[in-house]
Chains A and B, each alone.
Chain A
Amino acid sequence: MYIIIASMIGHVDADCFYVSAERVRYPHLKGMPVGVLGNHGACVIAKSYEMKQAGVPTGGAIWEAVPVCPDAVFVKRDFRWYEILSRKMLAEVQRVSPQVEFYSIDESFFRAVDVRLSAAERLQRAMLDRVGVPVSIGIAPTKTLAKLISDSSKPFGCGVIDDEAARLEILRDRPVTDITGIAKRSARRLSEQGITTCEQFANADRAKIRWLLTKRGEDLWWELNGHSVLPVQTKRPEHKFISRGGSIGRASNDVARVRGFVVRNVERLVEALNHYQLCCDQLILSLLFRDAPERSGRRSLLGSTADFERLVCAALEMMPEVWSPRHASVHYMHVIAGSLWAAGNRQMGLFDDDLYQSNHDRFDAIASVKSQINSRVGRFALRMGSTLPLKDVYADPANEYDICDVHGKMCF
């Protein structure tokens, strides 16, 4: 297989990023088993290598982690701080490359100018010295191979795939689930065809992979075989959907509380739509239950909008039909805006008239006052009364800023 070394891609991935970020400001945490807790204080969303070594899984509950690792120290997450370090990391990568993709809060891809291992090690050292965060770096002809080599070099390693032997070596005996984009469902489909390793995936018939996993799978096939088809993107592609939601903490079948979360998530969704200067034609409400299958509803909005009033009415109208059976306890939800348009290219509704325009102006004026007050006093200081049952959520300033509030990155 021919590899074009002149066009190599680098992948920088922070080692246990949230823990490393905490260690930047609290250096005494170095060497300790540390777990970072999520939005409700119950779930371990990140762990140090010391904690991993003890056998604590990511995403598990704190009460399951403690008996496994009794010495562990638990830290409350702070996404504002993680974003500060994330942007500093991005700036470091931009010093060595003119083309950098802000992939996620702790990962970036870059067009590698110097493809030697020593260059990767220099960047790694600079990152540690200037930002304080240990990273692993992979350089390869494609994004998928670069990510595989950086993942396999963790912690604090560097690797370069610059010839056929190195490419084959990284694929050998590696499960297909190590490839970003191959999750459980895809892995099951591949497994049914006897494809369980990256090597088998790369050696499989291209048309078969496309048949099994569509174009997305075929792209990965090309990438694993050393042909770059996924470009380094310096600008985020336009959103197809914008979603806000997540866990609501302890599962609840209290209507006022669930309604409060729906309204809170619509307020956050409207903020995001305004940030990206978008409006939507559709709204989807999805509820996940502790004791019943997930259900979703969809509403067409009769004209594009980013008006809070119209979106919240649509979401609340869907709530009773989505929440079935009624006794089920909600523990997760998503409010998703679909069919997005640039706010300036808003599609008018058939029934938009003067009354609509006057209502729109009124909503706009209210939204403007709300936004001005919140920008001075604090996010969510002025909010819908329906969120009053969520006193505990709003009492915690850490809930004012979430991972999805870190704008500009390619993925969650």
Chain B
Amino acid sequence: MCKGISILKARLKQELFDQYELAHRITTRGEATQQELHFMYPGASPIELPVIQDGQLVIMEWGNRNNKESKLPKTGWCRLESLQAGKWRWLSPEKVVIPADFGLEKSVWFQIHEGMEGVVVHDEHERPHVYMLTTAASVYYQNMTQHDRMPVLVGQEI
């Protein structure tokens, strides 16, 4: 699977930092000159992900972890097989791209070229939630992360 992502700070517009209070997510890796923002599941509250929707980068709640009363699936991931089987149809899911530069699974940070696919659904209050799409992991990904599921990457094979 992929329990966290990192995106370069330079990819985000300044106004997003104020709008979504992102300052606490900023971090630096090693001696890199580029700062990153980490989004983890679970992690710093609120649990969120960056999403490209209608060409705009916005921040959305990642799945549904804390709201037990909500009808939304209590997870952060959506299996591609379930989506294709129509099990999410009742939520009218909309495919989106989750932009990312690195992914994290079982303590392994791996490089992401563009991002991964996700679906956005809305809760009872019409608030959007994004779920990360997953598929069966390639052998390479399994060896790398020891996990049998992997994100559906955009234009990239691992």
Contact = CB atoms under 8 A, between A and B. Distances in A.
Interface of A: 22, 26, 28-33, 37, 40-42, 50, 62-63, 66-67, 70-76, 249-250, 392-393, 395-398
B154 interface: no
Contacts, number: 78
A37 B30 contact: no
Contacts of A74: 108-111, 144
Contact of B143 (A22, A40, A67, A398): A40
Contacts of A50: 30-31
A26 B111 contact: yes
Contacts of B157: 396-398
Contact of A75 (B34, B111, B146): B111
B90 interface: no
A31 B33 CA distance: 7
Contact of A392 (B8, B32, B108, B139): B139
B110 A73 contact: yes
30 contacts: A29-B32, A29-B111, A31-B29, A32-B31, A33-B29, A33-B30, A40-B140, A41-B140, A41-B141, A41-B142, A50-B30, A62-B144, A66-B107, A66-B108, A67-B107, A73-B29, A73-B102, A73-B110, A73-B111, A74-B110, A74-B111, A75-B111, A76-B110, A76-B140, A249-B139, A250-B143, A393-B139, A396-B140, A397-B157, A398-B140
Q: Which of A26, A32, A396 lies at the interface centre, i.e. has the most chain B CB atoms within 10 A of its CB?
A: A32
Interface string B18-33: 0000000000011111
B138 interface: yes
Contacts of B139: 40-41, 249, 392-393, 396
A397 B8 CA distance: 28
A28 to B, nearest CB: 5
B52 to A, nearest CB: 18
Q: Which of B30, B31, B33, B110 lies at the interface centre, i.e. has the most chain A CB atoms within 10 A of its CB?
A: B30
A396 B142 CA distance: 13
A396 B107 CA distance: 24
